Amino acid sequence: MELTTILFYLFASVTLGSATIMVFSKNIVHSAFALMFTLMGVAALYVLLYADFLAATQLLVYVGGILILILFGVMLTSQGYSLSFKTITVNLLPASLISVAVAVLLIFAFLSTDWTISEVAERSDTVYDLGMLLMGDYILPFIAVGVLLLVAIIGAILMSTRLSAENNGAS
Amino acid sequence: MEILMNTTIFVPGLSHFLVVSALLFSLGVMAVLSRRNVIMVLMGVELILNSANINLIAFSRFTELSLDGQMIGLFVIIIAAAEAAVALAIILNVYNRFNTINLDEINLLKG
């Protein structure tokens, strides 16, 4: 039995198990920490798919950035202590029906399609090729995404400073 | 058991990764539909984006898509970061105005 196989099943079960804990946990802080393990498992799956740069980016951006933002959101929007960390679950039956239907349909479609698989050569690292692509074929989306990030940052800063200005005016 | 695990159906191929991403997607849909905390819904959206990313990178590994799939995955991660920042700023504004982040109680267009 190959090491890759063991690692795949290990990381897939870590990813799916902690995603399940994230969805069904009653405590939103537990959900956020389960999301961290899910994102790390996904990064490990990226490594198994020869995407080392994307795995590093996933760890930096998701675990180091988005998760911290989500935890800040949890802290800043909680009234009182642990009471409001509890979150309400509604529509349990229709939601689970729809998601099970989605899962069954997707898995059926994935397994019944005859994919044309071509084995690419094992990559040692992808950073050089990704950099050449970014400066070549993908130069326009690269610039557009830079402008998008700038707009998003300015928008987020504007919204939150207006918030604190209103708070100061009220008090 | 050893013989069972050595058969080719258990060696991770394209469809194994696709099945993992399909299950992750349905868990994300479950979180978006059933939870009423805005932050939980946001986490469900992150799960959905990650499952799409696994698909893109699995196809870039196993088909002729090559590095283009990884490139699109990179842009998905960047856009997810921008989306999370703006969404949390909106959530803080909503919390400041309505004093709740329950989606069912936020039902006014003009605060």
Provide mean pLDDT across the span A88-108.
Answer: 88
Question: Which residue in chain A is spatially nearest to B97 when comparing CA positions?
Answer: A163
Provide mean pLDDT across the span A100-121.
Answer: 86
Q: What is the pLDDT of residues A28-73, one digit of tens each?
A: 889 999 999 999 999 999 999 888 899 999 999 999 889 999 998 8
CATH number belonging to the domain at A3-137, selected among 3.30.70.520, 3.20.20.80, 1.20.120.1200, 3.40.50.300: 1.20.120.1200
Which pLDDT score, from 0 to 100, does residue A82 have?
47
Q: Is the pLDDT of residue A169 over 60?
A: no
Inspect the interface and report whether the beta carbons of A153 and B15 lie closer than 8 Å.
no
The tokens for A77 are: 């929007």
Least confident of A23-32, A79-88, A147-156, B9-18: A79-88
Rg (CA), chain B: 19
Q: Is the pLDDT of residue A94 over 80?
A: yes
Which candidate, B84, B23, B43, B53, places its Cα nearest to that of A45? B53
CB pairs under 8 A between A and B: 240
Question: Is the Cβ–Cβ distance between B12 and A5 less than 8 Å?
Answer: yes
pLDDT band for A148, please (50, 70, 90 cuts).
Answer: very high
Q: List the single residue in A91, A149, A162 with the smallest CB-CB distance to B34.
A: A91
CA torsion A155→A137→A125→B15, rounded to 10°? 80
Inspect the interface and report whether the beta carbons of B5 and A129 lie closer than 8 Å.
no
Which pLDDT score, from 0 to 100, does residue A50 have?
87
Which pLDDT score, from 0 to 100, does residue A171 have?
44
The string of DSSP codes covering A85-126 is: GB--B--HHHHHHHHHHHHHHHHHHHHHS------PPPPS--
A70-86 b/e (C-beta count within 10 Å ≥ 16 → b)? bbebbeebbeeeeebbe
**Mean per-residue pLDDT over chain B, rounded:** 86
Query: Cα(B54)–Cα(B78) distance, rounded to whole angstroms?
Result: 15
Q: What is the ipTM of this complex?
A: 0.87
Query: For chain A, what percent of residues have pLDDT higher than 90?
Result: 46
Q: Could you give the domains of chain B? A: 13-105 (1.10.287.3510)
Which candidate, B16, B109, B67, places its Cα nearest to that of A107? B16
Inspect the interface and report whether the beta carbons of A77 and B95 lie closer than 8 Å.
yes
Which pLDDT score, from 0 to 100, does residue A168 have?
63
Provide mean pLDDT across the span B19-24.
Answer: 94
Show residues of chain B in contact with A57, CB under 8 Å: 74, 77
Show residues of chain A in contact with B2, CB under 8 Å: 1
Q: Is the pLDDT of residue A132 over 50?
A: yes
